[in-house]
Amino acid sequence: MVKLSRALIASVSTIALTLPVLAQTAVPQADDSYFLAAQEQLAAKEAVKPNTGKAKNVIMFIVDGLSIPTITAARIHEGQLAGVDGESHSLAFETLLPHTALVKTYTHDSQVADSAPTATAITSGIKSLNGTIGVDQTAVLEDCSTQAGSTTMSIFEQAEEAGLATGIISTARITHATPAAAYAHTVGRDWENDKSLPEDAVGKCADIAAQLVDWSFGDGFEVVFGGGRANFMLDSQKDPEDETRTGARKERDLIADWQAKYNDGQYVWNKEGFDALTADTSHVLGLFNGSHMQYEADRESDAGGEPSIAEMTTKAIEILEKNEDGFVLMVEGGRVDHAHHAGNAARALTDAIAVSEAMKAAYEAVNPEETLILLTADHSHVFSIAGYPTRNNPILGIAGTGDDGLPYTTLGYMNGPGAKTLEEGADVTAMSGEEVRAALQRADLTEVDTTDIDFLQQALIPMGSESHAGDDVAVFAQGPQAYLFDGVIEQNLIYHVMAKAVGLNAAK
Amino acid sequence: MQRRHFVVGLAAAGTLLAAKPAFADLPSLRFRDMYSRGKDLSDQAIALEGQRIAMTGYMAPPLKPEINFFVLTKTPMATCPFCDDATDWPNDIVLSYFEGDMKFTRFSNLIRVEGTFDTGIETDGPTGFVSKVRLLDTNYTIL
């Protein structure tokens, strides 16, 4: 035994003597710039300490359709637009929100989600059915009779009941699935106005716009900024920005109803009205477009003028932070998803960059120590980054040449409008080989400016609208309880972390 | 590289090379150059009023089978189930009237349309479709 102890001590001593020597020997690559940069990153990681405190405020950025390849491409695009190395560049949220996790987005009934149940997962903490908002799995899609008994209570509803301030922002219609999950409970995500209700739901299930105005929790949303004005206007009312368009409702002028309900509040519909809003605003309803707000790339040409998502975010914080108990704010970048559906990567990336700027503006406007800030996506898209472009190749550029001898772009889609197909009803047997080839062969991009904002990336499978995808998305976070975002998580955990952080967890 | 090269490139790669010279002398108007802000037409668009011009875009699926116009759009008018309803058209569409019969083409095919440029808010009688700009007496080529 003695001999063994001596032997152990001897071997331990040998290790003790050996390890420091190894650590002190500089590896040959120690002066390599990548090596040094990674050492810096290591030090930054070591400096991140878990914040286990209580959050006064919660700000959730939900970027509709922000798949992980979209993050990568947006990062490179932002860097290249700034004239720096795109590949090693970082978006603001990648550096300011250090806690991350992969997020599983499947829903109760589908491998691949739409935005309704995923937003419900984030705002109410459960998995639910595609096409439904703010209801649990007992609901039946578009069956109004199942709605009343299946409603959830969102974190916004709990926050209002607890006396916090609340706000919702979206660049899509404010009645669209993601923002609707803050306040609406519906078995039909398309029931955005009363005309869209099926006959058997009329008078029994309220449309989404009406649910927003009639929302009865606390003193109501202090801030509502988004698009979707038509869903609040009667079909006899002309749109203030475009006299060729009208409202979409059969009954109720919901803007008038909102103004009557919040007689100290302000309704705005253009940039001028937005700019005039001050921090002492009690309640504000801002509806900046008849339908969705403009893509960031097109915002300057809007008739009435629209605030950017960053401007809406900072204005909302100014108004909400007057509440000493804190606030809960949702900011949705709603149109990354729409650009992807259209097969138009350039607009998806510029909208993603705009949300990143909004997140940075929010971080700078609050005390990050007492504010849980997170940024996530609701679902992915069939969008990919193909090999093998050289370093610093334009991210919207050409990556290489396929076996068909034709160039292909770095960015592309598995399906969507960018795929070629035969005309409907085409009789292939009556076509010449050349005609069939011309109808089906993808375009030659040799002389095409694929970096043009209107360029549509090619796709494999012809579909009217490019589809969502089922791969995991990411969540990035900082602030109280943000450290809980780690590893691979269920999407509905996001609600539970937010609720825990702000002290609203209504678990049994 | 300019949009002009984009179009020429696609035409060269595509099908109807013979049709290209027919458009060669016409002034062209790009969707992005049509309006200065909102529904205010650009100086370039105003200058083209009444002239035969060429535009490049996509043909939206026809509203109904018996119809004498199609809607020219900047990007394919995909029926995105999560974006827009059927009546939610973009702001920059161009109503394109044609004489006689016309064969419609799939919404995802890039086309080049020739027509007489007409502006001002008008309502199509049979359909009630309201438009701000139109192309009259059009014909098109798939690029």
CATH number for the domain spanning A320: value is: 3.40.720.10
Question: Which of B38, B75, B79 has the CB atom closest to A303's CB atom?
Answer: B38
Count the neighbouring beta carbons within 10 Å of the beta carbon of residue A15.
9
Contact A454 B74 (CB under 8 A): yes
Q: B13 and A443 in contact by Cβ < 8 A?
A: yes
**A224 and A328: one domain?**
yes
Nearest-neighbour CA in chain A from B124: distance (Å)? 12
Out of A67, A88, A90, A115, the active site residue is A115
B137 and A CB contact within 8 Å: no
Residues A277 and A366 in one domain: yes
Q: Looking at the predicted structure, is the pLDDT value of residue A73 above 50? A: yes
Query: Is the residue at A21 inside a domain?
Result: no
Same domain? A285 vs A375: yes
- Whether residues A303 and B37 touch (CB distance < 8 A) is answered with yes
Domain count within chain A? 2
Q: How far apart are CA A281 and CA A267, in angstroms?
A: 11
pLDDT of the residue at B85:
53
Residues A405 and A355 grouped into a single domain: no
- Contact of B76 with chain A, judged by CB distance below 8 Å, is answered with yes
Residue A301 to residue B35, Cβ atoms within 8 A: yes
Is the confidence at residue B112, as pLDDT, over 90?
yes
State the nearest Cα–Cα gap between A157 and chain B, in angstroms: 25
Bridge partner residues of A375 (DSSP): A61, A476
Which residue in chain B is spatially nearest to A434 when comparing CA positions?
B15
Residues A328 and A408 in one domain: no
Pair A457, A474 in one domain: no
* Nearest to A70, CA basis, from A305, A347, A269, A459: A347
Task: Note whether residue A31 is domain-resident.
Answer: no
Task: Say what the pLDDT of residue A19 is.
Answer: 52
Q: Is B13 on the interface with A (CB under 8 A)?
A: yes
Enumerate the residues of chain A whose CB falls inside 8 A of the CB of residue B121.
243-244
Higher pLDDT, A486 or A438: A486
Q: How confident is the model at residue B7 (pLDDT cuts 50, 70, 90)?
A: very low
CA neighbor of A119 nearest in space, from A61, A41, A196: A61
**Min CA distance, B115 vs chain A (Å)?**
22
**Is A340 in the same domain as A377?**
yes
Give the pLDDT of residue A294: 96
Instruction: Identify whether residues A294 and A377 lie together within a single domain.
Output: yes
Residue A109 lies in a domain: yes
Let me know if residue A34 belongs to a domain. no
Q: How far is A208 from chain B (nearest CA, A)?
A: 15
Q: Considering only residues 35 to 74 of chain B, which have any Cβ-Cβ distance to chain A shorter than 8 Å?
A: 35-40, 74
pLDDT tens per residue, range A283-329: 999 999 999 999 999 999 898 999 999 999 999 999 999 999 999 99
Contacts of A117 in chain B (CB under 8 A): none
The minimal CB distance from A417 to the residues B13, B15, B108 is found for: B108
Residue B81 has pLDDT above 50, yes or no: no
- Average pLDDT (B3-22) is 38
Which position has the higher pLDDT, A445 or A22?
A: A445
Count A/B contacts: CB-CB distance under 8 Å.
117
Is residue A287, in this structure, part of any structural domain at all?
yes
The radius of gyration computed from the CA coordinates of chain A, to the nearest angstrom, equals 26
Which has the minimum average pLDDT: A67-71, A360-364, B138-142? B138-142
* pLDDT > 60? residue A214: yes
CB–CB of B107 and A416 under 8 A? no
Q: Do B106 and A302 touch (CB under 8 A)?
A: no
Look at residue A350 in the predicted model and tell me its pLDDT: 98
Chain B residues whose beta carbon lies within 8 Å of the beta carbon of residue A241: 38
Q: Is there a contact between A291 and B84 if contact means CB atoms under 8 Å apart?
A: yes
Are A169 and A60 a contacting pair, CB within 8 Å?
no
Same domain, residue pair A413 and A478: no
Are the CB atoms for A205 and A146 separated by under 8 Å? no
Q: A24 in a domain, yes or no?
A: no
**Residues 6 or more apart in contact with residue A301 via CB below 8 angstroms:** A294, B35, B36, B37, B38
Mean pLDDT value across chain A: 94
Cβ separation B76–A343 shorter than 8 A: yes
Q: Does B88 touch chain A (CB under 8 A)?
A: yes
Predicted local confidence at residue A297, as pLDDT: 95
Examine residue A388 and say whether the peptide bond preceding it is cis (omega within 30 degrees of 0). Answer: yes
Q: Average pLDDT of A110-124?
A: 98
Does the pLDDT at position B12 exceed 50? Answer: no
Asked about A115 being catalytic, the answer comes back as yes
Please report which confidence band the pLDDT of residue B5 belongs to, taking 50, 70 and 90 as the band edges: very low
Q: Please state, as a whole number, how many other Cβ atoms lie within 10 Å of the Cβ of residue A7.
A: 10
Which pLDDT score is estimated for A1?
44
- Binning pLDDT at 50, 70 and 90, where does residue B6 land? very low
With CA atoms as reference, the chain A residue closest to B103 would be A423
What local confidence, expressed as pLDDT, does residue B62 receive?
79
Assign B10 a pLDDT band (cuts: 50, 70, 90).
very low
Q: What is the mean pLDDT of residues B125-142?
A: 91
Print the domain residue range for B26: 3-142
pLDDT above 70 (res A384): yes
Are B76 and A446 inside 8 Å of each other by CB? no
Q: Characterize the bridge pairing of strands B69-73 and B40-41.
A: unpaired
Contacts of A470 (CB under 8 A, 6+ apart): A105, A106, A111, A112, A113, A379, A380
The confidence band for B63, taking pLDDT boundaries of 50, 70 and 90, is confident
The full length of chain B comes to 143
Q: What is the CATH number of the domain that holds B94?
A: 2.40.50.140
pLDDT classification of B75: cutoffs 50, 70, 90: confident
Residue of A nearest to B120 (CA): A244
Give the whole-angstrom CA distance, residue A420 versus residue A460: 8
For residue A188, tell me if it sits in a domain.
Answer: yes
CB contact under 8 A, B6 and A244: no
Quick check: A43 pLDDT over 80? Answer: yes
Q: Is residue A192 part of a domain?
A: yes
Reported as type and span, the H/E element at residue A145 is none
Task: Identify whether residues A280 and A410 lie together within a single domain.
Answer: no
d(CA A16, CA B21): 83
Q: Residue B20: what pLDDT?
A: 43
B84 touches A at CB < 8 Å: yes
Structural domain of A220:
57-382+467-502
A342/B75 CB distance under 8 A: yes
Predicted complex ipTM: 0.73
Q: Higher model confidence: residue A188 or residue B75? A: A188
Residues of chain A in contact with residue B12, where contact means CB-CB under 8 angstroms, are 444, 447
pLDDT tens digits along A442-464: 999 998 999 999 999 999 999 98
Res A77 pLDDT > 90: yes
> How far is the alpha carbon of A92 from chain B, nearest alpha carbon, in Å?
28
A319 by DSSP, 3-state: which? helix
- Report the gap between the CA of A231 and the closest CA in chain B (Å): 12
Q: Is B105 on the interface with A (CB under 8 A)?
A: yes
pTM of structure:
0.90
Residue of chain A nearest B6, judged by CA positions: A448
pLDDT band of residue B79 (cuts 50, 70, 90) is low
Indicate if the pLDDT at residue A3 is higher than 60.
Answer: no
What letter does residue A144 receive in the DSSP assignment?
Answer: G
Closest CA–CA distance from residue A325 to any residue of chain B (Å): 36
Q: Domain check: are A182 and A122 in the same one?
A: yes
pLDDT higher than threshold 60 for residue B22: no
> Are A352 and A367 in a shared domain?
yes
- What is the tally of structural domains in chain B? 1
Closest residue in B to A407 (Cα–Cα): B13
Contact A455 B8 (CB under 8 A): no
Residue written as token pair 């037409």 = B41
With a cut of 60, say whether residue B21 has pLDDT above it. no
Which of the four pLDDT bands, split at 50, 70 and 90, describes residue B78?
Answer: low
Residue B80 to residue A302, Cβ atoms within 8 A: no
pLDDT band at A20 (very low <50, low <70, confident <90, very high): low
